A and B are shown apart, each in its own frame.
Chain A
């Protein structure tokens, strides 16, 4: 009898003494809510929903991770809500899609959030590709300024299109731009129909929807936005390494680098803020390091998880999911856009395209 009691006591002691991280860690038993400021089904939404189970698995304590959509105002409503309501306890995260960065960068008056105050948990980005129809006669990007009759379509600014228009401005191109498309998808359809002959798509879309057209001879790829590596240099887009970047094309046209030009500064600013570091996951300002640490470590573990790697390859098209602490400075700096750049973007939109943003 005594032996049984001893055995039981030992067992109980062992159980309670074992390094059960789940019993002592901060996130155990808690629920993390990721605010996605877009409607359900958008690319940002899908991405975060796919990440959620991996976050659950790899954050020490295995919290439940839920997505909450707060659409409206072009990502502004949800981001504003986060800024006003999220506590600094690491339990509410904000997923920031591209649009929220652009709104922030151009100082949209409705914006009541400040990315430079938030702390970065993880960031991933992507690039985009310009391509044209064979009917335009344009075969390489360096000739883009000389080609007439180019017509591009997009949703009305501000949004992803701002970067495309800045790129075209940098290279001296003057296509006709038709706003009024619901999204980049319908614009791509119009390209396939032959109504538009110049288009610009995110690389993941380019790879699956446009490459087949390229192979059939119905589309001619031109250039990519370019990617920024951890040293801050412009390099080729890792998903489409065979295409030149806007930066390279400029050099080929003018024989010198565009650094220093206001047009270049404006373009690079939006590429950094909205594309390369386009998709961020943030926590509220003031979140203490003890809470950030398990979040950052989870990102590392996710990146080592074979199943996640498979998915990331498909969802992120070869771009990395980067730990926030490694690039937070870069990202914050990228978002600190100078007044002259903001003014330049606004003036360009107004004068060239009649759009007040």
Chain B
């Protein structure tokens, strides 16, 4: 085994092969930086160019591309608050907060280093698990997998923020959102309201970009000023590295969670990253800084998401069960060389497996290095008045979202998700549980259906795996309950003085109630096989939402950690959404380029108060750059109906 490993490494001594790997890495880095575009875009970008290569070279390039996407996706998450890929949303929550406090460099360097180590641990995990992967993957049956997804959802419970009620509701809304689309057990499409766009559910990328990206951008716009409100203190880069050393066990744990999430076919990068985040919060004694910029909330998830991509390769290579779309594409591209995944791949193509592992490791090192190198320049962006860069950011986010289905529905969904995320962040509703619920809804229901279908009632509960995971799941709740009771005895729980009603909070609570009530009505129309999980979610949802509405009416609903939103901020936020809506409408009517130019000019002239000539030059430069990039990446542009779009 060591033999094969060293032989594979020697391949990279050939500069041509190394160069190919680097080409893949560059592609992956660029794609990672662009909001919303993840590993799959990177791999499909590189794909048309590998046809002349042999299997080893092709594998190196493809692995290079998919290995580093989760390193560079942190950049926009931290600096702008727009997730570079759905898995990177955790870095928006903690990293972007740090950037606002002027600590962008620290956040980025901690993230890159964690990503690097996570990726290396992932590669190591891939190596070590090859001999034992088959029995490992087979050991976990449907009941254990169900318990694991439940565990993941329970981690969301630790992210509930000060107001448990709102956090739970957010999680339930997320679960409900995750149920839009085909039901796993019955041939029924749920909550689609007859719209073809919703037939497959709302795409994850659109939800992440909306709830975190758009919400952050509008929030920044309405707050005014630059992203960083404080000048950076000290040498953030070193601080980040020191943070990683200080929390080195977190890096390890995050990476291990990531590898496991990858190995299990249903859990992907997003689920794994959030589980790592939830784990960190759940196991931390001092949780006060989470959500406000806690470096630990970057370290563990970033280690996790680089490790997941490695873990995803295991079921894909060894079973031909795709761990992720990008792994599926990578392995699928190897089919033409006669390399078939499955048990034989270890005996017949061990050299290739090691090339993949080494490519993964080297890519992570190089990728992190490049990110370190370019980030000081990029971090300066946090000191620029945000109005100047808001338009290109919005345009790029919209473009990223549009690539998912290439349908105007993507932009409509993006708008709605953005509105939802923004209102939530202004009224103290935590968004993290929503995303976790969304991501885990499908797998959880799926595994539950399989469990109850295969095993007889009750017989599966006593399986040792189920009991162990169940204990891990229940423990923090029990402990949390105990300490909550203890705390209540000591001090009255904080509530805002009665009578301080917030209009936006009230409206939002009412909307939430309407959503759950409406869901209950819709559920009546489902076939029996598709009703169980939605009911389990909608019924407590309606009850909780009613309670929340009541509290909000009383004025006893705590407004966000940043205090109740100022009237001015609310107004500018709504204006921002108006502009955004107008932008999307213009895209629909006149196509992308016209709308982009219009938005750029609006922002440059009216908001950033640039002079006419610089505004024109800026607009032209940005649109040209986007167009060029788009052609390189084979991006699809919305063509307005004036030009004959459907």
Q: Which residues of A contact B315 (CB under 8 A)?
A: 189
Interface set of A (CB-CB < 8 Å, partner B): 39-43, 45-46, 49-50, 52-53, 66-74, 76-77, 80-81, 84-85, 110, 151, 153, 155-158, 176, 178-183, 185-186, 188-190, 192-193, 195-196, 205, 208-209, 212, 310-311, 314-315, 349, 354-357
> CA separation between A131 and B407, bound complex, in Å?
41
Let me know if B185 and A73 touch, CB within 8 A.
no
Let me know if B186 and A182 touch, CB within 8 A.
no
> CA separation between A153 and B454, bound complex, in Å?
9
Q: Which residues of B contact A70 (CB under 8 A)?
A: 405-406
CB of B321 within 8 A of chain A?
A: yes
CB distance from B466 to the nearest CB of A (A): 14
Pick from A39, A193, A354, A356: contact of B141, CB under 8 Å: A193
Let me know if B342 and A76 touch, CB within 8 A.
no
> CA separation between A61 and B199, bound complex, in Å?
39
Q: Which residues of B contact A315 (CB under 8 A)?
A: 335-336
A-B contacts, 16 listed (Cβ < 8 Å):
A40-B329, A41-B40, A46-B335, A156-B184, A156-B186, A178-B450, A178-B453, A179-B186, A180-B447, A185-B319, A188-B321, A189-B319, A195-B141, A314-B336, A354-B528, A355-B186
CB of B320 within 8 A of chain A?
A: yes
Give the residue name and chain of the A residue nearest to B201 (CB): A72
> CA separation between A193 and B333, bound complex, in Å?
28
Let me know if A40 and B184 touch, CB within 8 A.
no
CB of B158 within 8 A of chain A?
A: no
Let me know if B199 and A356 touch, CB within 8 A.
no
Let me know if A180 and B141 touch, CB within 8 A.
no
Of the listed stretches B44-52, B207-215, B387-395, B411-419, chain A binds B44-52
Chain B CB within 10 A, most for which of A41, A45, A50, A315 = A41
> CA separation between A40 and B66, bound complex, in Å?
14
Q: Which residues of B contact A42 (CB under 8 A)?
A: 328
State whether A185 and B265 are in contact (beta carbons under 8 Å apart), knowing that A40-B44, A72-B199, A356-B527 are contacts in the complex. Answer: yes
Let me know if B646 and A84 touch, CB within 8 A.
yes
The 10 closest A-B pairs by CB, nearest first: A178-B453, A180-B449, A41-B328, A46-B332, A185-B321, A41-B329, A73-B199, A208-B340, A180-B184, A355-B187
CB distance from B639 to the nearest CB of A (A): 10
Q: Which residues of A contact B551 (CB under 8 A)?
A: none
Let me know if A72 and B186 touch, CB within 8 A.
no
Let me know if B328 and A110 touch, CB within 8 A.
no
> CA separation between A122 and B77, bound complex, in Å?
45
Q: Which residues of A contact B40 (CB under 8 A)?
A: 39-41
CB of B535 within 8 A of chain A?
A: no
Q: Which residues of B contact A80 (CB under 8 A)?
A: 196
Give the residue name and chain of the A residue nearest to B455 (CB): A195
Let me know if A45 and B199 touch, CB within 8 A.
no
Let me know if A153 and B141 touch, CB within 8 A.
no
Give the residue name and chain of the A residue nearest to B446 (CB): A180
Encode contact with A along B32-70: 1 for CB under 8 Å, 0 otherwise: 000000001001100110010000000000000000000
CB of B82 within 8 A of chain A?
A: no
Q: Which residues of B contact A193 (CB under 8 A)?
A: 138, 141
State whether A40 and B636 are in contact (beta carbons under 8 Å apart), knowing that A84-B646, A180-B185, A354-B528 are contacts in the complex. Answer: no
> CA separation between A69 and B200, bound complex, in Å?
15
State whether A74 and B185 are in contact (beta carbons under 8 Å apart), knowing that A195-B141, A212-B342, A354-B528 are contacts in the complex. Answer: no
Let me know if A77 and B184 touch, CB within 8 A.
no
Q: Which residues of A contact B340 (CB under 8 A)?
A: 208, 314
Let me know if A354 and B186 touch, CB within 8 A.
yes
Let me know if B138 and A189 touch, CB within 8 A.
yes
> CA separation between A272 and B319, bound complex, in Å?
29
Let me know if B142 and A195 touch, CB within 8 A.
yes
Interface SS, B side: helix
State whether A52 and B646 are in contact (beta carbons under 8 Å apart), knowing that A195-B454, A356-B187 are contacts in the complex. Answer: no
> CA separation between A72 and B198, bound complex, in Å?
8
Q: Which residues of B contact A205 (CB under 8 A)?
A: 320
Pick from A68, A156, A310: contact of B183, CB under 8 Å: A156
State whether A39 and B187 are in contact (beta carbons under 8 Å apart), knowing that A178-B453, A178-B454, A181-B446 are contacts in the complex. Answer: no
State whether A179 and B453 are in contact (beta carbons under 8 Å apart), knowing that A195-B142, A212-B344 are contacts in the complex. Answer: yes
Let me know if A40 and B325 touch, CB within 8 A.
yes
Let me know if B646 and A81 touch, CB within 8 A.
yes
> CA separation between A151 and B503, bound complex, in Å?
56
CB distance from A23 to the nearest CB of B (A): 25
Let me know if A41 and B196 touch, CB within 8 A.
no
CB distance from B464 to the nearest CB of A (A): 15
CB distance from A233 to the nearest CB of B (A): 31
> CA separation between A332 and B47, bound complex, in Å?
33
Known: A193-B141, A349-B187. 6 other contacts (CB 8 A): A41-B40, A185-B320, A186-B265, A196-B454, A209-B320, A355-B529
Give the residue name and chain of the A residue nearest to B325 (CB): A41
State whether A181 and B344 are in contact (beta carbons under 8 Å apart), knowing that A156-B183, A208-B320, A314-B338 are contacts in the complex. Answer: no
> CA separation between A292 and B199, bound complex, in Å?
34
Let me know if A209 and B319 touch, CB within 8 A.
yes
Let me know if B343 and A212 touch, CB within 8 A.
yes
> CA separation between A39 and B40, bound complex, in Å?
10
Give the residue name and chain of the A residue nearest to B266 (CB): A182
> CA separation between A68 and B341, bound complex, in Å?
25
Q: Which of B413-456 contact A (CB under 8 A)?
A: 445-447, 449-450, 453-454
CB distance from A242 to the nearest CB of B (A): 20
Give the residue name and chain of the A residue nearest to B142 (CB): A195
Encode contact with A along B180-201: 1 for CB under 8 Å, 0 otherwise: 0011111110000000110110
Pick from B182, B184, B325, B335: contact of A50, CB under 8 Å: B335
> CA separation between A77 and B266, bound complex, in Å?
24
State whether A180 and B453 are in contact (beta carbons under 8 Å apart), knowing that A72-B197, A189-B321 are contacts in the complex. Answer: yes
Pick from B186, B322, B449, B646: contact of A85, CB under 8 Å: B646
Give the residue name and chain of the A residue nearest to B345 (CB): A208
Q: Which residues of A contact B336 (CB under 8 A)?
A: 50, 311, 314-315
Q: Which residues of A contact B44 (CB under 8 A)?
A: 40, 67, 69
Q: Which residues of B contact A157 (CB under 8 A)?
A: 187
CB of B137 within 8 A of chain A?
A: yes
CB distance from B143 to the nearest CB of A (A): 9
CB of B634 within 8 A of chain A?
A: yes
Q: Which residues of B contact A50 (CB under 8 A)?
A: 333, 335-336
> CA separation between A74 and B188, bound complex, in Å?
12
> CA separation between A350 and B327, bound complex, in Å?
36
